[in-house]
Amino acid sequence: AGQLVIGVLYFVLSALVLVPHHCLKITQSLKFVILVVLFLVLTVISGSINPPAEQKYEYFGLGEKLNLTFGNNTFSMIVREVKQDSKILVAEKEVTTSGYFLIVKVDVENLGSEAVDFKFEKDPQLKDSQDRRYTLHATSVPQGKLQPSVAKEVSYIFEIPKDASGLSFIVIDKTDVAKSVDLKR
């Protein structure tokens, strides 16, 4: 319905262009300014009517293999283990929290035929049952290139509150579908 109203308003605006300015009792330049302002207002209104596209998800469990595409490279990932701790070591310093650190251990394998760097375009996130999103606190991505058909263990560390439950590990790759792994927490 909103799009129909906007379409009718654009039609009225285009019809207003055909009306001579002396019939409107305004100058030619004022008519031009009014038309431009009305066009911009309609454009903003029509843009705000369309809701943003909702993210689509593929769902996986612990130990299930998922494929990821980054650039021209394809990888497989398996979330192997999830641990929690109240303190971690980062750059040889002990870090504590009032919540806890969730350590997600995954195996990543290069499915291509050449060695490549493994890095996400967007860092993985955690999402809980209250739709709160937690960003990456630290990671242990191996140095150097990831060789073809060789799996490497990578740890992702998140800082989350003690009341967080229903956690999902979310990975967004080049595809339009995010991968969501249920962490059973």
From the list 183, 105, 104, 90, the residue with the least C-alpha distance to 151 is 105
**Given this model, what pLDDT does residue 49 score?**
64
From the list 136, 72, 75, 76, the residue with the least C-alpha distance to 104 is 136
Place of tokens 């058909």: 149
Residues in contact with 85: Cβ distance below 8 Å, sequence separation at least 6, in sequence order: 100, 101, 103
pLDDT (tens digit per residue) in 83-101: 999 888 877 888 888 999 9
**Minimum mean pLDDT among 24-33, 55-64, 66-75: which range?**
24-33
DSSP 172: -
Q: What is the pTM of this model?
A: 0.69
140 touches 165 (CB < 8 A):
no
Structure tokens at 93: 């310093």
164 touches 99 (CB < 8 A):
yes
pLDDT (tens digit per residue) in 111-165: 989 998 877 778 899 999 999 999 999 888 777 888 999 899 999 999 999 999 9
DSSP 163: T
Instruction: Give me the DSSP letters along 32-46.
Output: HHHHHHHHHHHHHHH
Residues in contact with 101: Cβ distance below 8 Å, sequence separation at least 6, in sequence order: 84, 85, 86, 87, 88, 95, 137, 157, 158, 159, 160
Q: Under DSSP, is residue 124 helix (H, G, I), strand (E, B) or coil?
A: coil
From the list 135, 134, 128, 119, the residue with the least C-alpha distance to 173 is 119
What backbone phi and psi angles, to 5 degrees, belong to 36?
A: -65, -45
